[in-house]
Amino acid sequence: MDAKRNADSYSYPNGMLNSGWIVGVLRLPGEGKCFIQQTASENHMLPVEFDPRQAPLPRDLKEWDLVMAYCHFIGARENDVRIVRAKSIRFESPNLMHMDKRFAEDVMRKWSVKVHAAAKDSGVPAAIEAVAKVVGDVPAKEERMNSVDWRVLKLNKNATNTVQLAGFVQAKSLERNRVNAEGKPMNDRLVVLLRQTEDPDKSIPIRWYGRNLEPLANTLTRGLPIKVQGEYRLDVKALGAPDPESGIAPVSKLPYIEAKDFPGPVTPDSGLIKIAPFWVAEMLEMGTRKAPRREAPAQVATPAGIDSAAILADALNDINPKG
C-alpha cells in the first residue's frame, strides 16, 4: 500500500524511469506468467511475467476477467532477436464503478480493432460487455496510426497501455524506403536500444514509425540520455498459409515498445535518471585506451558539446509528419 501511494518507490528499478500499466482481459494464467488480451485477436495477447510470491494474481481473479498490471520492462534476446519482457510488480482488478469515461472508452476502442481473417477471434467476453454498459454507446473508432505525427499524438495514446522509460541510447537502426508485400511504400522505422543496466543485452528495443525519421535518427547519438513514452506491443508476422481446417495462420510474435511520442532529452535536474552509472562513460569512450573502468561520471549529462534539447527540437522541426 505504501508503494501504491508513492509511485516513485517502484518507478525507478535501476535508478531510471521504468514504469507502465496494461489493462485488458486475463488469459491463460499460470505459474509466473499470464497474458493480457486487449483486442479480439488472440494473436496479440500480451505476455506478462510475475513472481507468484511477491506479486501474485488476486485470488478472486479468474480467466476472462478484467485485470490491470503495473509493470517494469526489460530487454532480452530471443534467438538472437531483440525483444521486451514485461514483469508485473502488482495486479489489480479494475473496479468498473471507478473507471473514468476516457479509460472505459479506451478499453472499448482497443477491443474494436479489426481481427485479421486468419487470426482467432475471441468475440466479446463478459468483462468487455460490462465495460460497454458503463460506456453506453460504443465510441466511434479513432484513426490511430503506426507513426509519429504531431497532429495525432493524443489520438495515438491509450489510457489502457502506457509505458514510460528513461535511459541511454545504446544503439540504433533506421530502415528507410520500406515496402509491404504488395509493394506499397511504408513509413520509416527507427529502432533504438535504450540501456538502463550494465548488461547491454538487456537494452530495451523501442520503435518509432513515421516519415523521414533520418533527422531524428541522426540526433540520437550513442550515450545520449532520453525519455520515451509508448505502448507495449507485439510484432505479429504470418509464417505460413492458414490451416485448412481451422482457417488460422501460424505466426511469429516479437514483444517491443512502440513510441507514441517524440523522445525528449533528460537533464541532470529532471529526476528521470537518479544515478550516474560507470558504464555510460565506457559507452562514450569505447574504442579508446583511456576509457574509465567502473568510475562514475560526476553527473548524468549529455556528451560534451551536445545541446540535446536544441538538437532534438531542430530534428523534430525537420520531420515531415504523415498526412
pLDDT (tens digit, 0 to 9) for every residue of the chain, 323 residues total? Answer: 455 555 666 899 999 999 999 999 999 999 999 999 999 999 999 999 999 999 999 999 999 999 999 999 999 999 889 999 999 999 998 876 556 778 888 898 899 888 888 999 999 999 999 888 877 765 555 555 555 554 445 556 788 999 999 999 999 999 999 998 888 999 999 999 999 999 999 999 999 998 889 999 999 999 999 999 999 999 999 899 999 888 899 999 999 999 988 899 898 888 999 988 999 988 888 744 344 444 444 444 444 444 445 545 554 454 444 43
Sequence-ordered list of residues with C-beta below 8 angstroms from that of 19, at least 6 positions apart, any chain: 7, 10, 11, 70, 71, 72, 163, 164
Cα–chain center distance at 85? 10
Residue with cell 506491443: 233
8 Å CB contact between 22 and 86? yes
pTM of the model: 0.84
Question: How buried is residue 175: exposed, middle or buried, by Cβ count under 10 Å (0-12/13-18/19+)?
Answer: middle
